[in-house]
Structure 1
């Protein structure tokens, strides 16, 4: 009878041993399942996306309130990305660039080639900034956020 009990114990040990090791590897202080921490970054990302959506809506609303001419180009950009466009404007034609930056910090409007309009710094407080210019050959428009600036930039170029 002793022999039968020993055999049963050996079989039970081989069946239960992997379960013991599996439990030992996944339990204990600080051992959390991977999926428990995976939700935290997505909440942060969702909050950032909601903030971008809110600031984008504010910027677009302020931009739409200033529309008067024939739109040529428009868009919505993150301040961190900036606006960099070659809108294919007709040389010698007058245009108006309207930019609204909603968020924090400042941004700068620059034209290339230089001379189409002056470089202009403005606040990201949601106030529309209008800049009239006459297009030159291969006109390029840049709007870049200053150091620490954050938010959204809505912009539109209209023929005047």
Structure 2
């Protein structure tokens, strides 16, 4: 009789084990259920490929604007969402040109500190080139280009002394 009870208890325990495991696996932080799903590897790969393609297009467009008579100060390409934040070394009183090319969607705002006259115009992220000349009032100039809400893609810049 003791053996029968032991067998029944063992069978009952085996039957309940999956229930306990199921409850243990489904309980926990409910915050994780509210979190947005992380991008799938294929989506990340597609984004990386798109960034690589846009970077190549922006670089090609920047390269097409090079003049033998101008002296490049600095150049680069960034994600529109991250923006451009640069402080090139300039010669006070010298004339420079900043060339911007944004490829993607949306608009990016350009700001110089100290403020310049005329104020820089926003750049539309449609792959078209935007260039503006300016005279450096001081040796220190901060260039900030920031994408507006929803702007995506890549933005390239080149500062040249003309």
TM-score (ref. length: structure 2): 0.73
Q: The residue matched to 1:143 in structure 2 has which SS?
A: strand
- 1:102-147 per-residue CA deviation (whole Å, 9 max, x = no partner) reads 0122233332323365422332111122222221212122223345
Change (3 A) 1:73 1:20: same
Distance 1:39 1:108 in 2: 30
Distance 1:14 1:146 in 2: 61
Alignment of 1:122-133 (within 5 A): 122-133=123-134
User: Could you say which residue in structure 1 is the equivalent of 2:51?
Assistant: 52
Change (3 A) 1:144 1:25: closer
Q: The residue matched to 1:88 in structure 2 has which SS?
A: coil
What's the CA shift for 1:74?
A: 1.4
Change (3 A) 1:93 1:45: same
User: Could you say which residue in structure 1 is the equivalent of 2:102?
Assistant: 101
Change (3 A) 1:39 1:132: closer
Change (3 A) 1:91 1:40: closer
User: Could you say which residue in structure 2 is the equivalent of 1:14?
Assistant: 13
Decide whether the 8 Å contact of 2:120 with 2:132 is kept in 1: no
Structure 1 spans left out of the alignment, 5+ residues:
28-33
What's the CA shift for 1:155?
A: 0.7
- 1:24-56 per-residue CA deviation (whole Å, 9 max, x = no partner) reads 6669xxxxxx9xx97754444443333333222
User: Could you say which residue in structure 2 is the equivalent of 1:80?
Assistant: 81
User: Could you say which residue in structure 2 is the equivalent of 1:136?
Assistant: 137
Q: The residue matched to 1:128 in structure 2 has which SS?
A: strand
TM-score (ref. length: structure 1): 0.74
User: Could you say which residue in structure 1 is the equivalent of 2:156?
Assistant: 154
